[in-house]
């Protein structure tokens, strides 16, 4: 009789225990392999026809769980020099979508508002590389990437 009462007491305690909500894990972040600070400059002119793209690559740690998301972030008022179009096509340079535009984003900051935008998400692989090119006929964008401002990849979210 002692054993059933002990089991019943243990079950009652287990059922009445309040479930602890799972805390959301913070994402891990990786910055360009070229290191920080990293000057990024992208331009296109119609006359004479000229294009200056930029390439950004990220090294993803082994065991990283996906998706791996390419994210653009600028704190409020972060210095970004733009003329003409600030719309930039993001072209995958590796993986299953190599050569394809995988996102278009305005590389511009706002004076009173922080910007955080996910450009696209991908399966994590050892390296993710992208070409940035002006999406319109003419324009230029220049900024210095530092931790917390520019492009980065998140994973293990």
Full-model pTM: 0.83
Closest Cα partner for 58 from 120, 129, 125? Answer: 129
Q: What proportion of the chain, given as a percentage, has pLDDT over 90?
A: 80
Write the pLDDT tens digit of every residue in 65-110.
999 999 999 999 999 999 999 999 999 999 999 999 999 999 999 9
Write the pLDDT tens digit of every residue in 17-69.
444 455 667 999 999 999 999 999 999 999 889 999 999 999 999 999 999 99
Closest Cα partner for 153 from 24, 25, 28, 26? Answer: 28
| Distance from C-alpha of 115 to C-alpha of 110, rounded to nearest angstrom | 8
3-state secondary structure of 9: helix
């Amino acid at each position: 009789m002692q054993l059933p009462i002990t089991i019943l007491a243990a079950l009652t305690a287990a059922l009445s225990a309040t479930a602890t909500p799972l805390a959301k894990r913070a994402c891990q972040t990786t910055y360009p392999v070229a290191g920080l600070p990293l000057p990024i400059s992208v331009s296109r002119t119609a006359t004479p026809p000229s294009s200056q793209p930029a390439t950004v690559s990220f090294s993803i740690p082994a065991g990283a769980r996906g998706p791996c998301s390419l994210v653009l972030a600028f704190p409020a008022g972060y210095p970004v020099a733009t003329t003409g179009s600030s719309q930039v096509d993001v072209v995958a340079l590796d993986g299953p979508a190599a050569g394809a535009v995988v996102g278009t984003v305005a590389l511009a900051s706002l004076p009173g508002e922080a910007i955080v935008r996910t450009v696209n998400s991908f399966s994590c692989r050892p390296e993710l590389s992208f070409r940035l090119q002006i999406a319109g006929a003419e324009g230029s964008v220049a900024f210095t990437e530092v931790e917390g401002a520019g492009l980065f990849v998140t994973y293990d979210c």
